[in-house]
């Protein structure tokens, strides 16, 4: 059981039309979102999209210029909201002289519920370094301490900003497993990333933002259906041209095109005897996906 009598009927996150400007830059322009228990929401978008600013407002680290946030019905930044939250900052700087055990014990001391310390430590591979001073820890080790910090003490809501930056593949897997277990156990989680595969592995729902605006919002299944588009590229012999129907463009000695059905497209190129070489088929990069979303699909 998570939560208590006074908070049990409120959602972990309810945000209405929150906005933030920095001088002339609109970092977040009227974003609304909600997060329920046992749900993981991914905030996806290119660098500078406004993900960290949005998360900071949700967490209570920044005050929105407009709009409102409630965490389990409480204002963000309030003691009641903080007692329910686990957080990993995007750039974690910890005191060098502390050991992870000291830091984690101190930081979670005010959490009411029992701390399954050993499980979280083991999950993030921290057992060998748990009593070593953090001076001289690698970036990946610091990051793993920061992640353990978010999940320790079973908070009702976890915020993660670019959680796996600088982590090796093994630690990324550990993170994904811990995050999924936490959500299956009823926890609520929101994370930012510019990696589609990370969001796909952890989240049930996605809010995609670009330039401070929400550009897409939906379940993973919805998003997958829209991700059929592929980019293909290939070389052609000197003087040869791709067929007009492909609407290919030439850049960097290669021809590039986008298609919603790469299989059919390639069969046709083969049937027509197009002498392509060094073919590459790849999913669209995130900025291209955003660019392809038709305005009428935007909320």
Ligand X SMILES: Nc1ncnc2c1ncn2[C@@H]1O[C@H](COP(=O)(O)OP(=O)(O)O)[C@@H](O)[C@H]1O
Q: Which residues contact Mg ion by CB under 5 A?
A: 51-52
Given the structure tokens 């609407």, which residue do they identify? 247
Task: Report CA-CA distances (Å) from 262 to 77, 223, 253, 294, 298.
Answer: 49, 18, 21, 20, 25
What is the H or E stretch that residue 217 is in? strand 213-219
Contacts of 247 (CB under 8 A, 6+ apart): 257
Write each residue from 4 to 43 as x if it is in contact with ligand X (CB under 6 A), else as -, in one continuous string: ------------------x--x-x----------------
By beta-carbon proximity to Mg ion, the closer residue of 49 and 179 is: 49
Residue 213 C-beta: closest distance to ligand X, Å: 12
Position 164 contacts ligand X (CB under 6 A): no
Residue 98 C-beta: closest distance to Mg ion, Å: 26
By beta-carbon proximity to Mg ion, the closer residue of 59 and 236 is: 59
Residue 23 C-beta: closest distance to ligand X, Å: 6
3-state class (DSSP) for residue 235: strand
Position 48 contacts ligand X (CB under 6 A): yes
Task: Report CA-CA distances (Å) from 220 to 1, 149, 198.
Answer: 27, 27, 12
* The only residue of 12, 42, 50, 60 in contact with ligand X, by rule CB under 6 A: 50
Position 47 contacts ligand X (CB under 6 A): yes
Position 193 contacts ligand X (CB under 6 A): no
CA 201 to chain centre: 10
Contacts of 224 (CB under 8 A, 6+ apart): none
CA 32 – CA 15 distance, rounded (Å): 5
Position 51 contacts ligand X (CB under 6 A): yes
126 closest CA partner among 142, 107, 112, 115: 142
Number of residues that bind ligand X (CB under 6 A): 11
Residue 45 C-beta: closest distance to ligand X, Å: 5
- The item of Mg ion, ligand X, none sharing an interface with residue 15, based on CB under 5 to 8 Å by kind, is none
Binding footprint of ligand X on the chain (CB under 6 A): 22, 25, 27, 45, 47-53
């Amino acid at each position: 059981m998570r939560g208590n009598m006074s908070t049990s009927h409120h959602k972990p996150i309810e945000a209405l039309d929150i906005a933030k400007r920095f001088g002339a830059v609109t970092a977040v322009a009227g974003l609304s979102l909600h997060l329920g228990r046992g749900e993981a929401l991914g905030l996806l978008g290119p660098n500078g999209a406004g993900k960290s600013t949005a998360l900071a407002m949700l967490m209570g680290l920044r005050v929105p210029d407009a709009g409102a946030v409630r965490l389990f019905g409480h204002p963000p930044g309030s003691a009641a909201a903080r007692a329910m939250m686990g957080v990993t900052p995007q750039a974690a700087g910890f005191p060098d002289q502390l050991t992870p055990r000291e830091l984690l014990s101190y930081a979670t001391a005010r959490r009411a519920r029992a701390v399954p310390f050993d499980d979280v430590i083991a999950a993030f591979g921290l057992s060998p370094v748990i009593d070593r001073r953090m001076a001289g820890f690698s970036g990946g080790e610091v990051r793993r301490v920061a992640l353990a910090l978010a999940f320790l003490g079973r908070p009702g809501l976890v915020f993660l900003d670019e959680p796996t930056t600088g982590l090796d593949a093994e630690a990324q897997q550990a993170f994904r497993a811990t995050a999924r277990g936490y959500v299956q156990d009823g926890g609520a989680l929101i994370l930012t990333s510019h990696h589609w595969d990370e969001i796909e592995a952890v989240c049930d729902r996605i809010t995609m933002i670009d330039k401070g605006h929400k550009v897409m919002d939906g379940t993973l299944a919805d998003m997958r259906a829209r991700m059929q588009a592929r980019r293909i590229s290939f070389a052609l012999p000197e003087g040869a041209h791709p067929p007009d129907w492909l609407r290919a463009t030439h850049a960097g000695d290669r021809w590039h095109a986008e298609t919603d059905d790469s299989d059919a497209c390639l069969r046709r190129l083969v049937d027509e005897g197009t002498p392509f070489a060094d073919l590459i088929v790849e999913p669209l990069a995130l900025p291209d996906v955003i660019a392809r979303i038709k305005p009428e699909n935007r909320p």
